[in-house]
């Protein structure tokens, strides 16, 4: 019985050791914030102008909404019209004159990749 207990003790600490080694060995992926870039140009943003690869500039910040478009409540074409462009107007009007809710504005932070270069 004592041997089983000892074996369990060894097995337990081996698992803990393995996990600690894994955490130590696997590189920590940098957060989105760390990848943020200052100095995108409108020309660079304009290259990302499709539903699958959709960047926008809103109030001088640059966003990659490629992953958000399928989740957006309106049909994809509504946002797609603004891909690759300065889209503050789109955000403030939804295309028909109504501003987005504060919730929508707050959601954007999760998609920011940088800011626009200042002239
Ligand atoms: C810039 C181009 C965009 C256009 C033209 C646009 C347009 C629209 C339209 C037509 C609706 C549905 C109708 C309505 O609620 O009145 C809508 C709803 C919504 N959109 Fe957008 N949208 C844009 C970008 C975004 C972005 C970037 C986000 C967030 C990351 C967003 C989040 C939402 C949310 C949460 C709703 C639900 C209603 C609300 O909270 O205001 N949209 N949008």
The CATH fold assigned to 39-116 is Flavocytochrome B2; Chain A, domain 1 (3.10.120)
pLDDT tens digits, one per residue of 27-86: 444 444 445 677 899 999 999 999 999 999 999 999 999 999 999 999 999 999 999 999
100 lines ligand 1 (CB under 6 A): yes
Distance CA 87, CA 25 (A): 42
46 φ, ψ (degrees, to nearest 5)? -60, -20
**pTM as predicted:** 0.77
Confidence check: pLDDT of 20 > 70? no
CA 29 / ligand 1 centre spacing (Å): 30
Confidence check: pLDDT of 104 > 90? yes
Give the ipTM of the model, two decimals please.
0.97
Residue closest by Cα to atom 4 of ligand 1: 94
What are the DSSP E strand ranges found in 1-119? 37-40, 55-58, 61-64, 85-86, 112-116
Average pLDDT over residues 7-19: 73
């Amino acid at each position: 019985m004592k041997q089983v207990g000892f074996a369990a003790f060894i097995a337990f600490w081996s698992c803990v050791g393995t996990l600690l080694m894994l955490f130590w060995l696997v590189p920590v992926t940098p957060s989105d914030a760390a990848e943020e870039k200052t100095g995108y140009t409108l020309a660079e943003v304009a290259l990302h102008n499709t539903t699958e690869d959709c960047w926008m500039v809103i109030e001088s910040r640059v966003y990659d909404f490629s992953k958000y478009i399928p989740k957006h409540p309106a049909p994809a074409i509504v946002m797609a019209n603004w891909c690759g462009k300065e889209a503050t107007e789109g955000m403030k009007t939804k295309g028909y004159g109504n501003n987005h809710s504060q919730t929508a504005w707050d959601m954007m932070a999760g998609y920011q990749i940088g800011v626009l270069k200042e002239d």
